Amino acid sequence: MCGIIGYTGHRPALPIVLEGLEHLEYRGYDSAGVGYVLNKELTVVRTKGKLKNLRDAVSTTGSALTVTCAIGHTRWATHGIPEERNAHPHVCADKSLAIVHNGIIENYLEIKEELLAAGYSFYSDTDTEVLVNLIHFLRAKENDLLGAFSKALARANGTYAVCLIDVSNPGTLYAARKSAPLILGRGVGESFIASDVPAFLAYTREVVFLEDGEILVAEPEKHTIYRIADGCTVKRSSQLIQWGMQAAQKGGYRHFMLKEIFEQPRVLKDCLTGRINAQGNIVLPELENVAPPNRIHIIACGTSYHAGLWGQHLLEDLAQIPVSVEIASEFRYKERFLPDKNDLVLVISQSGETADTLAALERAKKEKIATLGLCNVVGSSLAREADTVIYTQAGPEISVASTKAMTSQMLMLCTLALFFARKKGLIDKRQRTLAKTLSSLAVLLEAQLPNMHRRAQSLARKYAEARSFFYLGRGHCFPLALEGALKLKELSYIHAEGYAAGEMKHGPIALIDSAFPTFVLAMNDSLYPKIRSNVVEIQSREGHIIALTNPETDIDVDDRWEIPRIIDPLQAFLILPCLQLFSYEMADFLGKDVDQPRNLAKSVTVE
Ligand code: M6R
C-alpha cells in the first residue's frame, strides 16, 4: 500500500520519479506527490486523484531539470481522506525536511499531543506529518539528523517505510522500514529507493534489500546502512533481479490483468521447471530435509487464502495430512493456537508483504513451529522471515486483481501434496497420473484461452446488468467459487457471494429470483449429481444459471460454458482462468478501471 520512490544521481530526478510512480501506482492511487530541493528551498507538489493529475502539475522543464534528487509517493489513504492536504510528501514546521511514508504510525495521536504542546501546528490528518515533525523536533535538540531520525523511528509504533530529504543536504536520501518493503537500487553514480523493483528496473537490476531496524543513507556514488539499535554500519551485498522491464509492461494487452491471465500457461511451465524428475517424482530441494508434518496450518489473505483452501483438499487427499486454513487477520489474534511440535505453518502470499500474513508468520515463529512460505517476490519480508521458502515464480503481477499468482500457488500446493505423499510412501497410480498431467497443463490451457476469452466476452454482455451473483461449487470447486465471487466484486463492483452449493438451501436461496443469476461450477466429477440437483432447486425459483461444465454433462441451464474434462483436481487450472476472464470482461464492459479498482491496493501492508 502506497508507493515510495526516491532518486539521487546525475540525471534529472523528476522525470525518473514520475516514471517510477507510474510503476508503483498499483499500490495506491488516490493522490500523489513529489518533493525536491531547488535553490536551497524545499518544493512539494501534490495532487488528488490519479497520477495523471500530478504529471500535469509537475514541471519537468527549465530549472526543474537541474534537480537531481527527489522523492515521490502514490497514496492509498489510511489516515485522512484522499485530499491534496493529506497527500505526501509531508513537510516539517520550518520546511527543512520532507518525507514520504507507507504504513501506519499507530501512536501518532500521542506524539501529536506532545508536539502540539511544544508549539507545532498540523495541516493534514495524517500520521506522516506527525512523524516528520517529530524528526524535526528531535533534530532541533541535537542538530544531528541521523540521530533524530533513529530516535523518531524508535518512538514510532506500527509499520512503515519512509524516505526523507533534508534541505541542508539536498543530494542525500534517508530511508528506513519496519514490516513494509523498501529496496535500494544501485546504478552507476545513482541510487534509487523504492517500495518495489519495477519503479527503477529501467535503470538498474542491482538491488540491496533493507531490513527492519536499519537506516539507509543513499547518495549518488555510495550508500551506508546503519543499525538503529547501536548506530553501527551494516555490510550487505547486492543481488541481481532476474527479470527485466518487459515483464513489468503490458506487452500489447489492453490491461495488465488480461496479460497476466494469458501468461498463465507460461507460469505453469516455469513453476514446474526442474520440479519433476525422470522417474516422474516431484522434486522440492527446499524441503528435502523436512519430514512430512503431522498437521499443516495454512494462513493467508484474499486470493492467496482461496488458493490455500484449494490446497487443503490436495494435501488431505493425496498426502493424508490434516490441514486447517485460516484468514491471517483472524489467526493473528486468535486466543489459542495449540500446535503440535511436528506441525507446519504454511503462509501463502503473492507479495510477501501482507501485514496480517507477516504477523501470523511471526506468531507461528514465536510458538517455535516450523514455517514454510509460499511467495512470489524474491527478497520480500515473508521470504526472509519464513524458515523455508518456495518461490511461486509467477513473475511480477501488476494488476491489483490477483490471477497468475493464484495459479502458481495452486500448482506449488499440488507439488507439495505429491511431494509429501511420496515421502510418506503413499504414491499410487492416480498420483502418478496427476504428476504426469501437471506437465501437460500449460499446453492445454494455452490452446483453450482464446475460446475461453470469447465465451467470457459474450456472457459478460448478457449478464452485465445483474446487480448480484452467486458462485457455487462443491469439493475442490468450492474455493474456486469463492475466488470467482471475489474477482467479480473487486473488479466490477457487482455484489457476488461464493457458496458451497449444498449450503444454498440453508438460507441464501431466499435471495434467488429472475434478477439474481448464479454461476455454477458443475464438473463431471463424483459430486456432479449433487450440484445438478442444487441447480434444479435454483431454477425452480426462476434463477438464471451459467454453468461451467464439461461436454459430457447433461446439465440444462440458460448458458452452458464447456471446458475439456481433465483429471480432478487439476480441472481447477482450466476453471480458474474462465472465472478470471468472466470478471475481467464484466468489468471492462461496464467501463471499470480493471487494473486499479476503486478503494484497493495491490500490497496490503497495513492491518
Ligand atoms: O500478496 P498477498 O497474496 O498476500 O495478498 C493477499 C490479498 O490481498 C490478495 O490476494 C487480494 O485478495 C487480491 N489482490 C485479490 O485479487
**Segment 555-599, tens digit of pLDDT:** 999 999 999 999 989 999 999 999 999 999 999 999 999 998 888
Query: What separation in Å is there between the alpha carbon of 450 and the centre of ligand 1?
Result: 26
> From CA 469, how far away is CA 477, in angstroms rounded?
17
Transcribe 132-188 into DSSP letters. Answer: HHHHHHHHHHHS-HHHHHHHHHHH--EEEEEEEEETTSTT-EEEEEESS--EEEEET
Probe target for ligand 1 pocket from 76, 347, 351, with the most ligand atoms within 8 Å of CB: 351
* Higher local confidence (pLDDT), 99 or 246: 99
Give the confidence band of 524 by pLDDT, cuts at 50, 70, 90: very high
Q: Ligand 1 centroid to 370 CA: how many Å?
A: 23
Res. 184 pLDDT band, cuts 50 70 90: very high
Distance 503 CA to ligand 1 centre (A): 26
Which residue's CA is the nearest one to ligand 1's atom 10? 303
Provide the grid cell at 306.
482461496
Collapsing DSSP states into helix, strand and coil, what is residue 324?
Answer: strand
Give yes or no for residue 350 CB within 6 A of ligand 1.
yes
**In the chain, what are the domains?**
3-247 (3.60.20.10), 256-589 (3.40.50.10490)
Q: What distance in Å separates the CA atoms of residue 546 and residue 558, rounded to the nearest whole number? A: 6
Of 7-16, 37-46, 236-245, 533-542, the one with minimum mean pLDDT is 236-245
Q: Please name the residue whose Cα sits nearest to atom 9 of ligand 1.
A: 302
- 351 touches ligand 1 (CB under 6 Å): yes
What would the mean pLDDT of 501-505 be, rounded to a whole number?
92
Query: Is residue 301 within 6 Å of ligand 1 at its C-beta?
Result: yes
For ligand 1, what atom is nearest to the CA of residue 604?
8
Q: Is 399 in the pocket of ligand 1 (CB under 6 A)?
A: no
State which of 310, 329, 350, 488 you would mutate to test the pocket of ligand 1, scoring each by most atoms of that ligand within 8 A of its C-beta.
350
Angle at 202 between CA 196 and CA 205, to 5 degrees: 65
Taking the C-alpha atoms of residue 29 and residue 169, their distance in angstroms, rounded to an integer, is: 30
pLDDT at 338: 84
Over its C-alpha atoms, the chain yields an Rg (Å, rounded) of 25
What is the 393 CA–ligand 1 centroid distance (Å)? 16
Q: In angstroms, what is the span from residue 539 Cα to ligand 1's centroid?
A: 34
The x, y and z cell numbers of residue 98, run together, are 520532507
Given ligand 1 and candidates 260, 303, 392, which is best to mutate, with the most ligand atoms within 8 Å of its CB?
303
pLDDT digits (tens, 9 = 90+) for 206-215: 999 999 999 9
Ligand 1 center to residue 384 CA distance, Å? 19
Q: What band does 602 get if pLDDT is binned at 50, 70 and 90?
A: confident
- How is residue 164 written as a grid cell? 526523507
Q: Which atom of ligand 1 is nearest to the CA of 400?
A: 14
Angle between helices 429-463 and 572-589 (to 10 degrees): 20
| β-pairing verdict for 190-194 and 183-187 | antiparallel
Write out the catalytic residue numbers. 2, 602
Ligand 1 atom 12: residue of nearest CA: 302
HEC string for 523-580: CCCCCHHHHHHHHHHHHCCCCCEEEEECCCCCCCCCEEEECCCCCCCCCHHHHHHHHH
Ligand 1 within 6 A of CB of 604 = yes
